[in-house]
Structure formats: C-alpha cells, structure tokens
C-alpha cells in the first residue's frame, strides 16, 4: 500500500486530525485546502514536518487538484461545505463545494495513478429514516436537505467513477462529529451563546431532537480501519455510536463545562414538527455492525464524546 496520500480539506476541523494520524503512521501527506474554513493553526506542530506538503488551492480548480495529486496513490476527500445550515442562505454552495468539487477531483483522479478514493459523506443522506439503527443498505435514500442531497450525489459520483475506471472506493457515513478544533455544531453554538448570555439559552426546535455524536478521534480511527481493511471495489460504512444524545442534554453538558447553573432554556419551536431548521433530521442512530465486524469500536459513547469536546472547547472560548 502506497505511503503517498492526499487529504482534501486537510486544514479543517476533521481533516487536520486525519493528517496528524497519517503522518504518525509514516505516510507522506499532501493537503489541498482553500483555507475558507480550514486554518493554518489547525496544522500547528506539523507544518514543518518534511513529510507534509500544503497546497493552498481549491478542489474546483483542476490545476490545483493536479498539483496536489502528484505522486499520490490514495485520496481522502473531506473538502466540503462544513455546515448543513449554510444551505438555507446559499444552496448553490452545496453544489459548488460538494458536487462540483468532487467531480473535478474525480476527473483528475481517473487520469492519475491514484488507486483508492475515501469519501467522507454524511448520515444526512438517509433523511428521516424509518428504520433505526439505520443500516448501510437502507433505502430508498431520501435526503431532506440540500446538503444531504449533495453528499448523496458525491457518493454516486465516487461509486460510478470507481466502477468505470477501476479505482477502489470507500464511502464513510459518519454521525455528527465533535471534538477539538470544531468550527460549527450544536455544542459550539450553545457555548458561544452562553458566553454572551449566561442566564438564558435559546435552543432551536422543540428540544426533542435526539442524535448520535462521534468524537473526532474515533472517526479518524474508523477511517484508518476502513482504509486498511475494506476489500470491495466500492464499500460503504456507517460510523457512529450505539447511543444517542438529546439536544437538551447537550445544553446541560455545555452549562456544566462552563460552570453555569440556573440557565433558562428558551425553545424556538422550530419548523416542520419541531426541527431546529429546515432540513434538520430530528432523530438519527446508525447501525455500525458492518464496521464493527472489521474490529473497530468507538472509545467514546455519544454523550461522552460531547462531554469530552465541551471540556476542550471551554478552554478555547
């Protein structure tokens, strides 16, 4: 297996953790990132590593992609619109940064020596799943957000290119990822709100949203396990925990991390049956039997992952 890999979005929240892991394992890592949401400081401590090459560029630019791909045999594709809620103001961004970027990347990959493509997709491709825990073969897939639809389109592109041009494809559908360097998400939102107003916290929706949360370190471990173990031409893996966390529990975790008491919760009521926003999946729990069969299991449960992230985030506020 080649030791030369490319991580798109490698200066971002999740990507930077994967880059660190790859370097520790002895890989030579190229990073392609336009630094719109990624940051140089996420790569502090490894920027001087002789096995790291940072290409400041965009996956939508064929020249940038070609430059980053030189000598690479595996691509971990994480570059994407980082926050599902951004689609409400600008649906075009989901097309540009998810679908178009993936197409341009794959076009260059098919003409290159790249052997494997690992795509970070999303649990949002399932929409409001009627089966929980939701397995990888659940269908039909009916995303309820433009973000989820764009991720499903990226999956289809990866699958079709791998079958057509005989590349190996791994598609990973994670639960909500949390942890150090997070730039968005309900936990960070709560902590930022509480910093501004420590007596009252607005909670979007009706407060009954219940989902799984995955610590970024567990996600990185899952990516490594899938990369080294998956053997089908194209394989899909859910990555999550066996439990869920209610949004009000996340609010309490944020309060505890900030040593706050007697905070009044104010529910916005939300939309469409108490969703936090249009396209918000209220209930999510993934079946992870498939990846567990490879020998992977998370270190943190859902609530523990949120708690661990909160105690780190409070130091960064």
CATH class of the structural domain 4-177+214-239: alpha beta
Q: What is the pLDDT of residue 87?
A: 60
CATH class of the structural domain 179-212+243-283+300-313: alpha beta
Any idea which of 3-12, 19-28, 194-203, 265-274 has the lowest mean pLDDT?
Answer: 265-274
286 phi and psi angles, rounded to 5 deg: -95, 145
Query: What CA–CA distance (Å, rounded) separates 265 from 258?
Result: 16
The alpha helices in 180-259, defined as continuous H runs, are 186-196, 216-229, 247-257
SS3 for 211? strand
Q: Is the pLDDT of residue 2 over 70?
A: no
SS3 for 37? coil
Higher pLDDT, 128 or 90: 128
Query: What CA–CA distance (Å, rounded) separates 198 from 225?
Result: 42
Q: What is the pLDDT of residue 270?
A: 84
Contact 180, 312 (CB under 8 A): yes
H/E run at residue 237: strand 234-239
- Per cent of the chain over pLDDT 90 is 91
Between strands 176-178 and 234-239, the pairing is: unpaired
Summary mean pLDDT of the chain: 95
Query: What CA–CA distance (Å, rounded) separates 181 from 183?
Result: 6
The whole-model pTM stands at: 0.96
126: exposed, middle or buried (Cβ count in 10 Å: 0-12, 13-18, 19+): buried
Q: Is the pLDDT of residue 141 over 90?
A: yes
Any idea which of 13-27, 54-68, 85-99 has the lowest mean pLDDT?
Answer: 85-99
Residue ranges of domains in the chain: 4-177+214-239, 179-212+243-283+300-313
Kindly report, residue by residue over 242-296, the tens digit of the pLDDT: 999 999 999 999 999 999 999 999 999 888 899 999 899 999 999 999 999 999 9
DSSP symbol at 100: I
109 phi and psi angles, rounded to 5 deg: -65, -40
Closest of 182, 122, 147 to residue 278, by C-alpha: 147
Q: What is the pLDDT of residue 79?
A: 97
Work out the average pLDDT over 151-161.
Answer: 98
DSSP symbol at 135: P
From first CA to last CA, the distance across the chain in angstroms is 41
Q: What is the pLDDT of residue 1?
A: 57
Q: Is the pLDDT of residue 12 over 80?
A: yes
Query: What CA–CA distance (Å, rounded) separates 28 from 39?
Result: 20
């Amino acid at each position: 297996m080649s030791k030369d890999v490319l991580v798109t979005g490698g200066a971002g929240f999740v990507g930077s953790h994967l880059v660190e892991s790859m370097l520790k394992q002895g890989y030579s890592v190229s990073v392609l990132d336009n630094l719109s949401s990624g940051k140089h400081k996420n790569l502090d401590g490894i920027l001087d590593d002789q096995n790291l090459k940072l290409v400041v560029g965009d996956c939508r630019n064929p020249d940038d992609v070609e430059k980053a791909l030189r000598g690479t045999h595996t691509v971990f594709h994480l570059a994407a619109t980082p926050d599902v809620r951004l689609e409400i103001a600008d649906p075009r961004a989901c097309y540009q940064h998810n679908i178009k970027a993936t197409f341009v990347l794959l076009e260059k990959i098919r003409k290159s020596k790249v052997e494997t493509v690992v795509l970070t997709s999303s649990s949002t491709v399932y929409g409001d799943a009627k089966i929980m825990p939701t397995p990888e073969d659940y269908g039909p897939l009916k995303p309820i957000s433009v973000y989820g639809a764009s991720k499903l389109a990226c999956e289809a592109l990866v699958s079709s290119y791998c079958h057509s041009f005989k590349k190996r494809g791994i598609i990973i559908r994670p639960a909500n990822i949390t942890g150090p360097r997070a730039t968005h998400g309900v936990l960070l939102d709560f902590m930022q709100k509480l910093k501004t107003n420590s007596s009252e916290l607005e909670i979007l929706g009706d407060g009954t949203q219940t989902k799984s949360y995955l610590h970024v370190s567990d996600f990185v471990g899952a990516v490594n396990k899938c990369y080294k173990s998956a053997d089908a031409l194209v394989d899909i893996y859910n990555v999550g925990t066996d439990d869920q966390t209610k949004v009000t529990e996340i609010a309490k975790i944020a309060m505890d991390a900030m040593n706050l008491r007697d905070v009044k919760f104010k529910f916005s009521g939300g939309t469409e049956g108490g969703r936090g926003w249009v396209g918000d999946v209220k209930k999510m729990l993934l079946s992870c039997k498939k990846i567990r069969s490879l020998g992977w299991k998370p270190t943190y449960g859902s609530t523990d992952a949120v708690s661990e992230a909160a105690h780190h985030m409070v130091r960064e506020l």
